[in-house]
Structure 1
Amino acid sequence: MRIVCISDTHSMHRQVDVPDGDLLIHAGDSLGTGSLRELEDLDQWFAELPHANKILIAGNHDWCFEDDPEEARSRVRHAHYLEDSAIELEGLTFWGSPWTPVFFNWAFNLKRGKPLAKRWAKIPEATDILITHGPPAGILDRVDTQKGTLRPGCEDLAAKVETLELKLHIFGHIHEDHGQEIIGDCRYINASTCNGHFKPLNPPIVVDL
């Protein structure tokens, strides 16, 4: 299976040169203002792509999925939308979740500690590929500022991931740390398409399983 990973396109998806593959995964922040109209355009774009399957999760900019979930879900016709839920494709189990630690009160924000840990506790042990919007703490979550380096990834997600036998963990959210890292048997992918200046210049990441 050839998996193509993107994230954080912020309604600039039509500016992205997406390689062919079997599965396209979008790890959230697909929208700009989070409107249903933006979502309809995204879904039409999915329909135009050749990948046999697409998986979409929400991110902190994707307000319509939190504010009007039934309407938003009804508009996703050409991708599998996951929200604390799973799907099996070609013998692999995928789990998707949109939650990130509180940051300026965006969508799908939860306080660090118990509120987030409860969400991560739902991830089944049998998960092969985990898709979250944000990274686990300390992995591809680096932001360099004038005041120093920040690592805003989620500690509770990192703790949960350590208990799983994942093949891939795909996320975005931290535009500045696009790339991939292999730790143990798991490949971690920060697939943020937009860079730190909100320009869609980071290339999709392709993985063959």
Structure 2
Amino acid sequence: MRLVCISDTHSMHRQVPVPDGDILIHAGDCLGVGTLEELEDLDNWFSEQPHRHKILIAGNHDWCLQDEPEEAEALVRNAIYLRDSGTEIEGLKFWGSPWTPVFFDWAFNLARGEAIAERWAQIPADTDVLITHGPPAGILDEVIMATQSQQMISAKPSESVGCEDLARELERLKLKMHIFGHIHESHGQETRNDCLFVNASTCTANYKPLNPPIVVDL
């Protein structure tokens, strides 16, 4: 089964060349400002894609899905929307969750520790593919730190900002794949303990939709 993974399109989805596949997965921050109008345009775009299945979760920019959930979710007609919920497609079990640790005052933020750990504890043990908006700690989660003299140096300091509580929860799961975004600078993929981790952020650190979709045959 061919999975095509994108994330953090920030309403620039029409600028993304999306390859064909069986399942198109969007790991959140699909909207720019977070309006219902943006979400309706995204859903129209989903209807134009050739993939047999589409899966969407929200991210910290997707305000209408947090603040107007009934109205917003009703607009998602051409994708399976997951919010702490799962779906099974051709024998593969998917689980999606939008939460990220608190950073300023964004949507779908929860405090590190008990509050966010409760969400991760809901992930079923038999999940094959986990979709979260943010990464686990230590895996494709490094953000570039701005400094006053950055333009004068070639080495850019970075900081790991992923969720430690999510990383701990992964120890009980036997995932085949974990898809996320959120940290634009860490776009890419790597394998650990037989699980493929994919940071599918489409936008770069400068919010340009230049990172290519990540295609995986699972």
- TM above 0.5, yes or no, is yes
Shift of 1:146: 4.0
1:105 is aligned to 105
- Paired residue for 1:170, among 175, 179, 186? 179
Partner of 2:152: none
> Normalised by the size of structure 1, how large is the TM-score?
0.99
Q: How many matched pairs?
A: 209
Q: CA separation in 1, counterparts of 2:146 and 2:75?
A: 41
Asked which structure has the greater CA Rg, the reply is 2
2:163 is aligned with 1:154: yes
Give the superposed CA RMSD: 0.7
Distance in 1 (CA, whole Å) between partners of 2:112 and 2:118 is: 10
Which consecutive segments of 4 or more residues in structure 1 shift more than 3 A? Answer: none
Give 1:107 shift.
0.2
**Distance in 1 separating the partners of 2:64 and 2:135:** 22
SS at match of 1:143: strand
1:50 is aligned to 2:59: no
What's the CA shift string for 1:21-57, capped at 9, x where partnerless? 0000000000000000000000000000000000000
Match of 1:31 in 2: 31
Q: Which amino acid in the other structure matches residue 72 of structure 1?
A: A
Query: Within 2, Cα distance between the matches of 1:86 and 1:201?
Result: 30
Structure 2, gaps ≥5 residues long:
148-156
1:43 partner SS: helix
TM-score by length of 2: 0.95
The match for 1:2 is 2
CA distance in structure 1 between the aligned counterparts of 2:158 and 2:82, rounded to whole angstroms: 32
% identical aligned pairs: 70
The structural deviation recorded for 1:184 is: 1.2
Name the CA distance, whole Å, in 2 between partners of 1:63 and 1:118: 22
Partner residue, 2:141: 141
